[in-house]
Chains A and B, each alone.
Chain A
């Protein structure tokens, strides 16, 4: 296992598109070679060495490479984008599209992240110690294929449009979320340990949403069916079980209609 430590110099005026800060791109490269890897500042093509001090060499493969990102990354986008293995640890806040379209490995952000983080995720683990903005684990604009697998864990609050078009995997928000959770979802699990303002499960076909501290305004397309005991993240609790969205099409499985489920903790 090799560790590459890159420290942001904080010199850029525009947002930095750091789509190559991934174990996949760093694997098999020395610090000098990593400094030559492409990135964009706005629409200008540049090299990572212009924006980061780079120490350490990449491992033989992505899986054997850990990247530690230091310095102020508030204006750095796309860290960990499309990575397949290895680990990225970001010690500050970072900007949009962090861990987007991730297929494997682990990204750990110790600060906050902006919007579109974990978008289109297919596998791996993405942990945020702080808050996330909008579109956590959602689909790319226009796409009907949202998050398919993996785990996103936001330890703070999240904004709107979480898990849009989700098809698999799991999203855990320890804090609150605002509006639009699991819109158009066709699978997957969303667990919100705080509260949600409204619009949970709009046009949801399949999938499960757990909310611990209440939904202020429930969607009219959901119907209460029963109370259930469910085990969530190792704890068993009693939930009010709603099915929906009743205005949406639903597939049949073994003769039974499959609905989206919302579980409200009692």
Chain B
């Protein structure tokens, strides 16, 4: 394999504590090595440029059945909005929900090498794995959606934590999943009865368990197994004015819970797209930001992390396993709606949505997303996402970086709103002078995400011996551009993206692809005949598929890269 030496770049690697020092990075046989070990090979001149590890996205919806339904139900998403085929790439289609090829290339252009698909309906996991295979360049992991799963609801209600752990381990192995995702705990099951759970104390119909019990039980299971990532939660009551109280109630459940893992992860709970959960007010009329209340709590709790879910003012396609929420959204905007029940496991819904800067609520949502990042004290626990495609497409990350790094750019947008005065009254964004630096951006986009996912030994760092995943950006930390647009451009089109030692992007153009990998967690647990029996019984009684057909076949899993967890020792 080829060798490179990346010379004179300003290196940002929060996992190694490197804060923009000039440092040469060597690449040999697809791994990062000390620069002195590279004797021959190409020199990449990175002088005046920023060098970071390849980006790691902690929460995105880029593969799987609901993503695909989003593509199918929105042919207009492709009309006049698809990128033209370039060089040796495949055809790229779609905007808010791009095709698999467009997704892989677009991530690579931004310097990302890893994406965590945040919602895999277990029953549909083969579809996820097929799309992972078709997505070029980036490595992908997928988290099975639990939290409304009949097995878990029953085990947790009966406080059978060992059984719940054994079942969870079985499911991760059966679906080649990465960790535990929990969406609207209890609420998506209640949706099957035409109901919802909007607080953590609403009982789930029939199962008679509360969301609080589900969340606590899942955290316990996660730490009992010692999984690489923590429980990844989309709390109850998403998107409703006044919901920050539910969010705080949810986060407080993590108090006193201790981590147990060998992956260097510190948190026991990751709250995803926190923007959608930080709303104050009693209705859309007095809707306002609760970012201060939420961040006051998050900043002092060391064992929780979150990602933003920033609104980007795009025409997008919302999709979530939170079925009742999508029904609610469709009743607001009257656009087309897809709804699905995944038997025994979860639900989902899809609705197009236009975040229009002329609408006050959208502007306030936009401000809240940025406020959360600007109020955060530890960006290792605060991650950049748009909950792609829910608050905006992932390829707007560079635009969010621009807003976070430049008060000028966010203020000029804030003051251009039709309802600017009302938006300023309802938010605190205007009073926040903070401008994030490149080190904090590196924390939010690779180091922190890799650490919280528990994969920092493989991704998110330029440590010698790790896979050579490197992003080189056209931005000089000693001479930051005065035009904020140049920040956005630099992060949208890398000078180079290197994936596993291969230059895949050069000057913003995809020049090559490399094999991508499926990252999953292989969990060994002691034999548990009760759970084995329960699984056989549920499949015989309720599932429409046979147990043998449910488990993902090995040939479905593309280039597996298993993380080993053994609780039997």
Contact = CB atoms under 8 A, between A and B. Distances in A.
A143 B76 contact: yes
B79 A143 contact: yes
A43 B76 CA distance: 20
Interface string B57-78: 0000000000000000111110
B336 A144 contact: yes
B335 interface: yes
Contacts of A249: 334
Most chain A beta-carbon neighbours within 10 Å: one of B73, B79, B336: B79
Nearest to A251: B334
A142 B76 contact: yes
Interface string B92-112: 000000000000000000000
Interface string B434-453: 00000000000000000000
Interface in A143-189: 143-144
Interface residues of B, number: 10
B335 A142 contact: no
B334 A141 contact: no
A140 interface: yes
Contacts of B76: 140-143
A109 B336 CA distance: 35
Nearest to A139: B76
Contacts of B336: 142, 144
Contacts of B77: 142
A140 B77 CA distance: 10
A143 B335 CA distance: 10
A141 B75 contact: yes
A37 to B, nearest CB: 17
Nearest to A120: B79
A141 B76 CA distance: 6
Contacts, number: 17
A65 to B, nearest CB: 22
Interface in A229-251: 249
A120 to B, nearest CB: 9
A237 B334 CA distance: 36
Contacts of A141: 75-76
A142 B75 contact: yes
The secondary-structure label for the interface of chain A is loop
Nearest to A249: B334
A249 B330 CA distance: 12
Interface string B320-354: 00000000000000111000000000000000100
Contacts of A142: 73-77, 336
Most chain A beta-carbon neighbours within 10 Å: one of B77, B334, B336, B352: B334
A142 B79 CA distance: 10
A142 B94 CA distance: 13
A40 to B, nearest CB: 12
Contacts of B352: 144
B478 to A, nearest CB: 44
Nearest to B78: A142
Contacts of A143: 76, 79
A143 B352 CA distance: 10
A143 B76 CA distance: 6
A143 B336 CA distance: 9
B338 to A, nearest CB: 12
A143 B74 CA distance: 7
A140 B75 contact: yes
Contacts of B334: 249
A141 B72 CA distance: 11
A80 to B, nearest CB: 16
A142 B70 CA distance: 11
Nearest to B74: A142
A141 B336 CA distance: 13
A143 B315 CA distance: 12
A144 B335 CA distance: 7
A249 B352 CA distance: 18
Nearest to B352: A144
Interface in B336-388: 336, 352
Contacts of B335: 144
B95 to A, nearest CB: 13
Nearest to A186: B334
A42 B79 CA distance: 17
Most chain B beta-carbon neighbours within 10 Å: one of A142, A143, A249: A142
Contacts of A140: 75-76, 79
A35 to B, nearest CB: 23
Nearest to B75: A142
B91 to A, nearest CB: 10
A186 to B, nearest CB: 9
Given A140-B76, A142-B75, A143-B79, 14 more contacts: A140-B75, A140-B79, A141-B75, A141-B76, A142-B73, A142-B74, A142-B76, A142-B77, A142-B336, A143-B76, A144-B335, A144-B336, A144-B352, A249-B334
17 contacts: A140-B75, A140-B76, A140-B79, A141-B75, A141-B76, A142-B73, A142-B74, A142-B75, A142-B76, A142-B77, A142-B336, A143-B76, A143-B79, A144-B335, A144-B336, A144-B352, A249-B334
9 closest Cβ contacts across the A-B interface?
A143-B76, A142-B75, A142-B76, A141-B75, A140-B76, A140-B79, A142-B74, A144-B335, A249-B334
